[in-house]
């Protein structure tokens, strides 16, 4: 079955970097784009952007430029989200979600909690 499995929770200090992985299985990785979505504690869903899994070309939503980088390793069907210069307000659950078609997200990874605290 189609599945996205993300890396485990991270605890980082302000100013550090973190890299979250999202390993896909059950389908051809390069046939579907991958989205990233952020959910701050107790808050709603915020689309961060997407990456074309064919070309590796990323597109970032407003507010997610500069410190956020999407990347791929197609040899292991894995997408990555790297966040640099972490701030307390980056504390959130980060989800990867396959683009099912036209910005529909299905399925989603289980989420990765990134906590930024000194």
Partner 1 sequence: EIVLTQSPGTLSLSPGERATLSCRASQSVSSSYLAWYQQKPGQAPRLLIYGASSRATGIPDRFSGSGSGTDFTLTISRLEPEDFAVYYCQQYGSSQTFGQGTKVEIK
- Give the footprint of partner 1 on this chain (CB under 8 A): 44-47, 61-62, 95, 97, 100, 102-111
Smallest distance from partner 1 to CB 103, Å: 4
Smallest distance from partner 1 to CB 110, Å: 6
Nearer to partner 1, 66 or 101 (CB): 101
Smallest distance from partner 1 to CB 34, Å: 14
Task: Say if residue 102 is exposed, middle or buried (CB neighbours under 10 Å; 0-12, 13-18, 19+).
Answer: exposed
Determine contact, residues 5/112, Cβ cutoff 8 Å. Answer: no
Nearer to partner 1, 66 or 102 (CB): 102
Nearer to partner 1, 1 or 118 (CB): 1
- DSSP notation for 16-57: --EEEEEEEESS-GGGS-EEEEEE-TT---EEEEEE-TTT--
Smallest distance from partner 1 to CB 82, Å: 21
Could you tell me which of 96, 103, 102, 83 has the C-alpha nearest to residue 10?
83
């Amino acid at each position: 079955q189609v599945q996205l499995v993300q890396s485990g929770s991270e605890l980082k200090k302000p100013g550090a970097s973190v890299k979250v992985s999202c390993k896909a299985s059950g389908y051809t990785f390069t046939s579907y784009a991958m989205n990233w979505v952020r959910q701050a504690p107790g808050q709603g869903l915020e689309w961060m952007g997407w990456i074309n899994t064919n070309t590796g070309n990323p597109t970032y939503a407003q507010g997610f430029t500069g410190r956020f980088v999407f990347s791929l390793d197609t040899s292991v069907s894995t997408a990555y989200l790297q966040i640099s210069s972490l701030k307390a307000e980056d504390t959130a659950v980060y989800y990867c979600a396959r683009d099912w078609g036209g910005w529909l997200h299905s399925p989603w990874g289980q989420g990765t909690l990134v906590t930024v605290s000194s």
